[in-house]
Structure 1
């Protein structure tokens, strides 16, 4: 890939992924803004718990399938692609059936644990959504592996827009909205997304008649640790809300979820850059070795920090205004939660790129063990601190566990590829003058 083509790839794919994340946050945040007003505090808490469970279910399958499929499709010969896609699809079907079985068995228990009778019906209806989203995940991973992102952006936009439009209609016309209706809307949006996504991947989506055991073992061998990492990471991010729901109330979980949703606003650049970096890092490992990976990590983390820092400062200084504007007076208790959660937002770029880089060089087991350790620490701290100081304990527990995870990750990256923490900070400060010279001063001069 020439320098010009390489710049075009990063610019085009980066813009598409940032647009995707912005649209996702816009629709998700807009929907959330209206949901906290349309739903009662208890219903919003139940919806938060439902989304926590379903997000983990999606991560189980995505972790086993997506990264492995992207890694091997992006680096293998084109003649091997049909065999890889066939093996990956078989794994996806098996995992989908297992997860549906688990949802069927555990839905009544979770409904009782969180004192939410309607949760069981929501989870049973969600099974249809899960089947459709599995097909969509497969399509999106194939497109990403081929360094294409248009279909991913469009299908995600459609799914988010449909859900947003229904909530907007309910909010504007003051029509009551049940939680089960929201799940059926998710199913409709997923079905339309699948049909649209197929149009973008049909030229790549090819099967072979004979299932390759070698590719089956290779994909599962790689994916099992990526799966563990994804699930552990999500548990680390949602265990606080789950434990608040079990130890205090669904309403407490909903209040904490508001702080998390606001901090997700400033995580857009990190999500976008991670999606672009992963297939590139897999290729760089093959062509440039660890020196290329080291630069990629330091540059991507520094750039992400430069984009995140202004948002963190703004939200911290105006957290009371932001909470009152977004969620209303009844969620004033979320203000101190937001201020604490903002502190560990500065560590998220390090953690996300740590996983991306180590996965791309085949160190998925190391990533899994670090994330698992962080999750266990987070779980223990949440139990102790929530018991002692209530809702704020969840925020402090997550902050402490993120700091510990950050320290361990930096030690491992230093040993594996020689990364420098100071280099990431240097790239962060260099971003601002470089951005001014290339994109502002240059345009003015033209």
Structure 2
């Protein structure tokens, strides 16, 4: 077996995969530390805060991230500076606007009895502002395809977070308040690093133009709507489970959710590498190749997820124990993880349905797809939790939303892509997996003895 060289990793797709894997590992380690050192109630409140923050982040990212990459990538320096300056101005305006709304609610904090809401009001605004520089820098680096720098910046952010959590635990100072302080300062540290190394391009804010800001805002309408709806789709469980079953039940529900990072790593990597190929095919008016790429990536991932789902069925209890310790052993978490992994078999087709709709300039259909999933999710989970009075109600209701979105997206893609079918997806994925396996055997197989 030939030992892989560093030059084998000098590829943007490999670096993107490594970056996603590393960040997911850090995320799992962080979650494991929190689950082992904090109470279920505190962990549940932390999840509630993250859900609110992630919604605001979706507002900012959905409005500007895709537009930044689309209008900045490959442009001349003058145009590039104009785009980045306009992005900076819009992102800061949005962040300061959210912080202003937060400050308006501050005087009424004493009248609020719900501790989760009080925590959000106290920390929401400053957390949003602390992350804006890192977010914009990330968009710029993605447009520049500088995945190595992205990896380093993420390592600074996640690595400092874990280090601070370890120190907090060692000093016996584990608390929700200290966790929020750590989160704020690690965001600030990463943002300062982005500015210090010149990656943020903050000075371009003086090169902004009104015309460019209008252009970015017009483009961001549908991507914002889809992003917000998608994020709300992921957060709605929090808003239903917390008031009915309490934060401890939410903590149990989110443990298997965190393990689903395994699936998300593969999805993000394949979607990231597949989008450029699909866009190139569409811009070249080669719909045959676009359909092929869609079927290839969706099919390969679907087949890869089948053995993962089977493995999860047998090792779910061990996986939950490994992540969260004895505290969550014997809870509903393991069975919920089994349900999620069975659902994951359909994730690739659903995800690529949405991406392909965007590529062929049908973002409004993708938006409608997400809205349908959101409505079905709210109704199904509310009904499930109300009837069963436990987190199984939420887990068993989740497949209804997935199937509704997948069917809607598939129906509309069939009208625009010749030869697009479930059978074609699986067949193409199977052939491509075989070809990929042969390529890997040739590349990393026994070294040529004649060399």
Query: Residue 18 and residue 396 in structure 1: after superposition, are their counterparts in 2 closer, same or farther (change >3 A)?
Result: same
Query: Residue 63 and residue 143 in structure 1: after superposition, are their counterparts in 2 closer, same or farther (change >3 A)?
Result: same
121-130 vs 33-42, which moves further: 121-130
* TM-superposed deviation, 1:108: 9.4
1:33-57 per-residue CA deviation (whole Å, 9 max, x = no partner) reads: 1211210111111111111111111
CA distance in 1: counterparts of 2:308 and 2:23, whole angstroms? 17
CA distance in 1: counterparts of 2:156 and 2:71, whole angstroms? 28
1:211-264 per-residue CA deviation (whole Å, 9 max, x = no partner) reads: 434332322122121111111111111211221001110111111111111122
Q: Which runs of 5+ in 2 are unaligned?
A: 1-6
Matches within 5 A, 1:130-149: 130-149=128-147
Which residue is 1:39 aligned to?
A: 38
1:371 aligns with 2:374: no
CA distance in 2: counterparts of 1:84 and 1:422, whole angstroms? 43
CA distance in 2: counterparts of 1:111 and 1:119, whole angstroms? 11
* TM-superposed deviation, 1:187: 2.1
1:373-424 per-residue CA deviation (whole Å, 9 max, x = no partner) reads: 2111111111111111121111122211011101111112222333333332
1:301 aligns with 2:285: no
Matches within 5 A, 1:63-212: 63-74=62-73, 79-104=78-103, 116-117=114-115, 119-171=117-169, 173=170, 175-198=172-195, 202=199, 207=204, 211-212=208-209
Which residue is 2:262 aligned to?
A: 265
72-81 vs 389-398, which moves further: 72-81
Query: Residue 123 and residue 285 in structure 1: after superposition, are their counterparts in 2 closer, same or farther (change >3 A)?
Result: farther
251-260 vs 199-208, which moves further: 199-208
Q: Which runs of 5+ in 1 are unaligned?
A: 1-7
Query: Residue 73 and residue 424 in structure 1: after superposition, are their counterparts in 2 closer, same or farther (change >3 A)?
Result: farther
Which residue is 1:3 aligned to?
A: none
63-72 vs 425-434, which moves further: 425-434
Q: Whose radius of gyration is greater, 1 or 2?
A: 2
Q: Is the 8 A contact 1:236 1:375 kept in 2?
A: yes
Which residue is 2:14 aligned to?
A: 15
* TM-superposed deviation, 1:116: 4.6
TM-score of the two chains, using structure 2 as the length reference: 0.87
Q: Is the 8 A contact 2:299 2:349 kept in 1?
A: no
CA distance in 2: counterparts of 1:74 and 1:358, whole angstroms? 21
Which residue is 2:445 aligned to?
A: 444
CA distance in 2: counterparts of 1:312 and 1:211, whole angstroms? 49
Q: Is the 8 A contact 1:232 1:372 kept in 2?
A: yes
Which residue is 2:3 aligned to?
A: none
How well do the aligned residues superpose, as a CA RMSD in angstroms? Answer: 2.9
Q: Is the 8 A contact 2:9 2:15 kept in 1?
A: no
Q: Is the 8 A contact 2:89 2:205 kept in 1?
A: no
227-236 vs 307-316, which moves further: 307-316
CA distance in 1: counterparts of 2:66 and 2:214, whole angstroms? 15
Report how many residues are paired. Answer: 437
Which residue is 1:430 aligned to?
A: 431
Which residue is 2:4 aligned to?
A: none
Q: Is the 8 A contact 1:239 1:379 kept in 2?
A: yes
* TM-superposed deviation, 1:304: 2.9
CA distance in 1: counterparts of 2:247 and 2:437, whole angstroms? 46
CA distance in 1: counterparts of 2:305 and 2:287, whole angstroms? 27
CA distance in 2: counterparts of 1:320 and 1:41, whole angstroms? 18
Q: Is the 8 A contact 1:69 1:85 kept in 2?
A: yes
431-440 vs 228-237, which moves further: 431-440
CA distance in 2: counterparts of 1:364 and 1:79, whole angstroms? 29
Q: Is the 8 A contact 1:50 1:123 kept in 2?
A: no
